Chain A
Amino acid sequence: MTLIRTEEIIKVYRLGEIDLKALNGVTTSIDKGEFVSIMGPSGSGKSTFMNILGCLDRPTEGRYILDGIDVSAFSRDELARIRNEKIGFVFQGFNLLRRTTALENVELPMVYSGVSQKERRERAREALNKVGLSGREDHYPNQLSGGQQQRVAIARALVNNASIILADEPTGNLDTKSSKEIMEIFTRLNEDSGITLIVVTHEPDIARYSRRIIRFLDGMIISDEKAQ
């Protein structure tokens, strides 16, 4: 079942007088439950593509159909709602709120979807448990290791029952051991819960966890193959 379909997506950034074409006709589709790596050198357009997939940005031209809905012309607030309901983000720099406990960080998406305080608590606890952080609920980000912070971020991405998790260099700031742990959590989520995972990376070791690798160059897909 197709979850994501992009049709001839073009993204142009206007930098003063010059138009910069970050994406130049990207057409692809990703099924529900897939685990995809997106690779490519910097400037190849993979981050731009991720931003569009994550509904943080809109394509200049072309269509993006998410879960059967064309979201390419959605307004800011409509996109915010889609992000809230369907998409979980994991960033290289974790992007947790400072001075906010792990539990409250995980609660954040539910704050914006109007879940009651009590249910938020419960579900956030559950999500933290899923990533192996029970007992760290009241820790602040600066009291957690990089790997633990990234796990909090994963719990936050999971907690609103997102169907897609988009991870942008999720292991970029982590050591090998933590990277391995994170990728194992991803694999487990993908296999056990059937969550669609899209990971942007330039490390072949990380890409190896996925089952499909899409390579970008100069704003276009140059290869799309099964991982070995």
Chain B
Amino acid sequence: MIDLTTTIRISIRSLKANKMRSFLTMLGIIIGVGAVIAMLAIGSGARSRIAAQISSMGSNLLMILPGATTAGGVRMGIGTQPTLSMADAEAIRKECPSVQYVAPVVNGVAQVVYGNLNWSTGVIGTSPEMVFVRDWEITAGRNFSDDDIRGATKVCILGQTVIENLFGDINPLGHVIRIKNVPFTVIGILQRKGQSPTGQDQDDVIYIPVTTAQKKIFGTTFPGMVRIIMIKARSPEVMDSAEREITDLLRQRHRIGPRQDNDFTVRNLTQIMQVQEQSTSVMTILLGAIASVSLIVGGIGIMNIMLVSVTERTREIGIRMAVGAKTWDIRLQFIIEALILSLSGGLIGIITGIVSSRVISSLAGWPVMISIFAVMLSFSFSGIVGIFFGYYPAHKASLLDPIEALRYE
């Protein structure tokens, strides 16, 4: 058996002899590997963005919305009837063992003024538990206290976007802003959270005590009612039982008979997000699978060219056999040629894939994530393609009859 380095050198030489053809053959693999890497990068980029958004929303999240009004047979949609009260929130906190935090919400959009700057933003009246429900850190200052809720004090906690728009570089702590002309003292600053899964800017927000919101900002005809109740369950495992406990409790509290519909809706936000994440994974696998088809097509291209090459080089094979090349010497030479084609195609394909996914990400604004796994996978796949599609031509070459091969014109 001849040594590998010599075989490799022989193979490289014959590939170099047909540069254009070798390149075109490689192109199939380059496109295949590039496509696999780019597709997986886009897919896992999308998935990681969704995962990040899920965790930015807060984990184990449930949202209770009030029910729909029906006025003269016209159903008005979820949230049109104020059926949830502060007392409901309090009851859930006390009586549902699977629930860890409860944050009632009274919200609206309001104009906010600081000095000569103004900004319109979402103002959320809530309890101190909100930051725990949302897994949201207060980077400076303090959270609301129970006294703030009880006394309906005029204090607020600001999101980063609001700070940027009202204060610029000034530290807002202790300053007074006016919400609907009511002065509020800034007591805390929220950490930056970025976009929500639905694309909203989560940092464009002001938290104020829920009682203050009810009494001083969003005066309501239904005192003690809240728009939404946000819930954090104790763990992902008890999400379902938390949902059940809340439903049972609220049905009882709202005196809903066994045949009547709920006048509220419990939404499992985390679950919704997870379904979205799963569908993204499926999409990633699908994209990868489609891309690998082109890799296989590239492999067939290699086989095609290798078969042509074997026929063209029949005489060379005859000469090699005459001077003592054994079956496997010839076979190995052609397999290695196919391997060099597919592996160097694979290498260039990796570079192409990385570059093109970067280009896609900057042009289309999609997040991409190139994983080592995808790179290794497609590279080794290209090697397997090379061996698989190179074997048959190599086998054919090695079984040529030396006499006929020498006579071949």
Contact = CB atoms under 8 A, between A and B. Distances in A.
Given A51-B403, A117-B6, A81 B322 contact: no
A112 B2 contact: yes
Contact of A80 (B13, B318, B321): B321
Given A112-B329, A114-B3, A117-B6, A57 B403 contact: yes
Given A99-B17, A117-B6, A112 B406 contact: no
Interface string B7-30: 000100100010000000000000
B298 to A, nearest CB: 27
- Classify chain B: how many residues form its interface, as a range: 20 to 34
Interface string B155-190: 000000000000000000000000000000000000
Interface stretch (A23-31, A60-68, A82-90): A82-90
A73 B243 CA distance: 84
Interface string B396-408: 0000001100100
A108 interface: yes
A170 interface: no
Contacts of B318: 95
B403 A56 contact: yes
A80 B406 contact: no
A82 B318 CA distance: 16
Nearest to A82: B324
A139 interface: no
A143 interface: no
Nearest to A88: B323
Contacts of A99: 13, 17
A56 B322 contact: yes
A109 interface: yes
Contacts of A85: 324
Q: Is the interface of B mostly helix, strand, loop or mixed?
A: helix
Contacts of A108: 319-320, 323
B272 interface: no
A113 B6 CA distance: 12
Nearest to B407: A93
Interface string B112-126: 000000000000000
B183 to A, nearest CB: 89
A140 B2 CA distance: 24
A72 B117 CA distance: 103
B98 to A, nearest CB: 74
Interface in A68-126: 76-77, 80-81, 83-85, 89, 91, 95-100, 108-109, 111-114, 117
A112 B320 contact: yes
A156 interface: yes
Contact of A114 (B2, B13, B319, B325): B2
A51 B405 CA distance: 13
Contacts of B196: none
A95 B319 contact: yes
B326 interface: yes
A83 B402 CA distance: 12
Nearest to A95: B319
Given A56-B403, A95-B315, A99-B17, A89 B323 contact: yes
A89 B322 contact: yes
B1 A114 contact: yes
A81 B406 CA distance: 18
A83 B324 contact: yes
Contacts of A97: 316, 319
A148 B321 CA distance: 23
B206 to A, nearest CB: 77
A12 to B, nearest CB: 15
B326 A81 contact: yes
B361 interface: no
A95 B406 contact: yes
B326 A111 contact: no
18 contacts: A51-B403, A76-B327, A77-B326, A80-B321, A80-B324, A81-B324, A84-B324, A85-B324, A89-B323, A95-B315, A99-B13, A99-B17, A108-B320, A111-B6, A112-B320, A112-B329, A113-B324, A114-B1
Given A109-B323, A111-B2, A112-B2, 6 more contacts: A81-B326, A95-B406, A96-B319, A97-B316, A97-B319, A111-B10
Instruction: List the 5 closest A-B pairs by CB distance, nearest first.
Output: A84-B324, A112-B324, A109-B323, A77-B326, A80-B326
Interface of B: 1-3, 6, 10, 13, 17, 315-316, 318-327, 329, 402-403, 406
